[in-house]
Structure 1
Amino acid sequence: MDASRTRVFRAAAPATALACSALLIAGCSAAGSGGGARGAAEGGAVRAAAPRAADDLQSDYQRVIKDVLPSVVQIQAGDSLGSGVVYDGEGHVVTNAHVVGDGRSFRVTTAHSEEPLDATLVSSYPQQDLAVIKLDKVPRGVKAASFGDSSKVEVGQIVLAMGSPLGLSSSVTQGIVSATGRTVTEGRSGGGTGATIGNMVQTSAAINPGNSGGALVGLDSRVIGIPTLAATDPGLPDSAAPGIGFAIPASMVRTVADQIIAKGRVTDSGRAALGITVRTVVNDSYRPAGAAVVEVSDDGAAKKAGLRPGDVITGVGDARITTVTSLAEALAPLEPGDRTKVTYTRGGDEHSAEVTLGEQ
């Protein structure tokens, strides 16, 4: 999915309002059947329970903020600001590749520090829009965040987004997990990497410029994702679509960060690939019509399946391919070793091949 084309729909009536209506109707029925005293007592109990529930939720929020905010930092890379999450006790900080950009050295401000700290780049992996930097010195009060299990993230789960939106350090917003398993293509404008990222967590928590690289956290104080993208309103391309943000899942963050810290680079991406270089081609009406193969890797999946330069890929599995981006989006949910059908044209004739995907 292309985040720049996300549409926003407003719900006609919130489910909570419907639920309250049902409770009121039930209460009236009970009173009308001779249970007035009992109904009044139960109503009083419900009213008393509501403030307690609100107090409990507020306490949960405050506990999570106290637990996790010391692990969230502000990163200054040249003239731009972003966020990061302390990954371990050695001062490694994970963030987005588009936050660090082409920089090699950074200034990092923690939740408790008055002066910025120096940090240097360990490695950046733009294909997944992740990077790791390292503090030159680890000050007191800075602790590593705890990362959760992405497979256990559920729609409706309450989450908090922590970071430095618009340069406002140590800011917190709240929302829910709106969806999981989203595939999103990041634009290149504003310093984006252009990466297509699969299995992202969609959230209603506000994600604004500067939140990138921060923490999306559940009420168990575990980081479930790294906020990375905010959708834009197709009617107003320069403005964000409220309540639609995306975070890279914690499992992928750990996969990339662990390799960078241990080896200085990513050697096992977990991203499926055909082993080709492609470009978008258009039809006679100048509309995108497929991804033309420009180059085929000698040991790549495409060559093993018989594809060659000049072929135009028009389908992967059930997905229709019209552009380079749509090809990347079709491959993003798949894994190396998966078998999929690739449809292509050669000399005007349509062909298909079963391809065992390689690794990017």
Structure 2
Amino acid sequence: MDASLHRVHRRARRLLLPVTAALCAVALAGGCSGSGGSRSGLSTPAVPGTADRAAEVAAVERVQNDLQTDYETVIKNVLPSVVQVDTGDSLGSGIVYDNQGHIVTNAHVVGKQKTFRVTVATREQPLSAKLVSSFPQQDLAVIKLDSVPKGLKPAVFGDTSQVAVGQIVLAMGSPLGLSSSVTQGIVSAVGRTVTESDSGGGTGATIANMVQTSAAINPGNSGGALVNLNSAVIGIPTLAATDQQEGGAAPGIGFAIPVSMVKNVADQIIKNGKVTDSGRAALGITGRTVLGGDLQPAGVAVVKAVKGGPAAGAGIRTGDIITKVGDTDVTTIQTLSAELASDKPGQKVRVTYVRGSATKTVTVKLAEM
């Protein structure tokens, strides 16, 4: 599949905001209409009568009622597993991961804090929690409650391979500080590669295979749950797209970290206290964006090539300017990260770079981040 169709090379904003908590609800509305008639003596197709129209209306109402029941069931099943995370100066969301009190959230929600106040569904008063570990490269973190309350309910986590465009989803969290809020939409796309802003406390992470959704994602939703109608978490809402021309959020375009990545990172942190196998590919360089003669981004200058790393092993050294990976132009450090985000350690890629007046292309075997 053409990777260019599955990448969104845009900046996105983190979803965290200091506000007081409140409660939201979801409503569903719908309707139908139908009428018909015929003139006496004309040969026209039969038109359903009153009884037929009544049956049609009843059938539509049954479908609507069934869907509403599905929504209410999902909310009843999952919302008790979604918590509010208070860092002291901002609010975010989290998901109860297991019955030992582990909660998974975004790295940008926890920031540099080590202790937190967590509001769970089974208690009115916040509980204290501590950071287990944060993995900013994929904007995920795990915190743990100091004391596990009775009735704490872990969420059910789904299967990324079963996520498809068009599926109905609900986003749950604390948008704008309104705890236990729910919005609805669909899966708009899968396989997106998105770069988070590195300003205002964002991690600057470039994350591959994200789920795009039309469900409203607002500040405070970070770390919450994107769930399907089977009551399974399929992602963690993390980013909202920004309109580069108009400024501000682009309505109806939000992104969630896929559940496969969430489980991989959380399981490693819980078992080892840190991520030991990121599954992310790396060139083994420290780089910075450089400008061309027109003062526009023109490549990534190698500030340092890690000794024994992939780039150094292929002959790339400090001062070289990387301009392409494969057939894709590299103009900024963000586009370089986006191009590598979907690659795997051990994979071989062609890297084009400029040294002085010479342009060179080498094959690099990627390492792990």
The aligned counterpart of 1:224 is 234
TM-score (norm 2): 0.88
Return closer, same or farther for 1:72/1:5 CA change in 2, 3 Å cut-off: closer
Q: CA deviation at 1:343?
A: 1.2
CA distance in 1, matches of 2:176, 2:219: 6
Which residue identity is paired with 1:254?
Answer: K
User: Quick one: which of 102, 106, 122 aligns to 1:92?
Assistant: 102
Q: CA deviation at 1:91?
A: 0.3
Q: CA deviation at 1:129?
A: 0.6
The aligned counterpart of 1:160 is 170
Q: CA deviation at 1:54?
A: 0.6
Do structure 1's residue 277 and structure 2's residue 281 form an aligned pair?
no
CA RMSD of aligned residues (A): 2.2
| C-alpha contact 2:37 2:47 (8 A) present in aligned 1 | no
Q: Secondary structure at the match of 1:169?
A: coil
The aligned counterpart of 1:325 is 334
Q: CA deviation at 1:141?
A: 2.7
Return closer, same or farther for 1:350/1:111 CA change in 2, 3 Å cut-off: same
| C-alpha contact 1:129 1:193 (8 A) present in aligned 2 | yes
Do structure 1's residue 353 and structure 2's residue 365 form an aligned pair?
no
**Matched residue count:** 342
1:308-336: CA deviations, max 9, x gaps? 22211111122110011110011111111
Do structure 1's residue 337 and structure 2's residue 346 form an aligned pair?
yes
| C-alpha contact 1:91 1:138 (8 A) present in aligned 2 | yes
Q: CA deviation at 1:43?
A: 4.5
Do structure 1's residue 297 and structure 2's residue 306 form an aligned pair?
yes
Q: CA deviation at 1:348?
A: 1.7
Give the number of the structure with larger relative contact order, counting CA–CA contacts within 8 Å between residues 6 or more apart: 2
The aligned counterpart of 1:81 is 91
1:120-150: CA deviations, max 9, x gaps? 0000011111000000111123211111111
| C-alpha contact 1:70 1:141 (8 A) present in aligned 2 | no
Which residue identity is paired with 2:124?
Answer: E
Q: How high is the sequence identity, in percent, across the aligned residues?
A: 64
CA distance in 2, matches of 1:49, 1:3: 44
The aligned counterpart of 2:62 is 52
User: Quick one: which of 111, 117, 122 aligns to 1:112?
Assistant: 122
1:233-273: CA deviations, max 9, x gaps? 22343x21111111000000011101100000011001111
Which residue identity is paired with 2:286?
Answer: T
The 5-angstrom pairing of residues 145-156 of structure 1 reads 145-156=155-166
CA distance in 2, matches of 1:299, 1:144: 43
Which residue identity is paired with 1:294?
Answer: V
Compare the two structures and name the one with the higher helix fraction: 1
CA distance in 2, matches of 1:186, 1:177: 20
The aligned counterpart of 1:196 is 206
The aligned counterpart of 2:182 is 172
| C-alpha contact 2:235 2:257 (8 A) present in aligned 1 | yes
Any stretches of 5+ residues in structure 2 without a counterpart? 1-7, 14-31
The aligned counterpart of 1:259 is 268
Q: CA deviation at 1:217?
A: 0.3
Q: Secondary structure at the match of 2:200?
A: helix
| C-alpha contact 2:12 2:197 (8 A) present in aligned 1 | no
Q: CA deviation at 1:355?
A: 1.7
User: Quick one: which of 82, 87, 91 aligns to 1:72?
Assistant: 82
CA distance in 2, matches of 1:85, 1:271: 24
| C-alpha contact 2:12 2:239 (8 A) present in aligned 1 | no
Q: Secondary structure at the match of 2:251?
A: strand
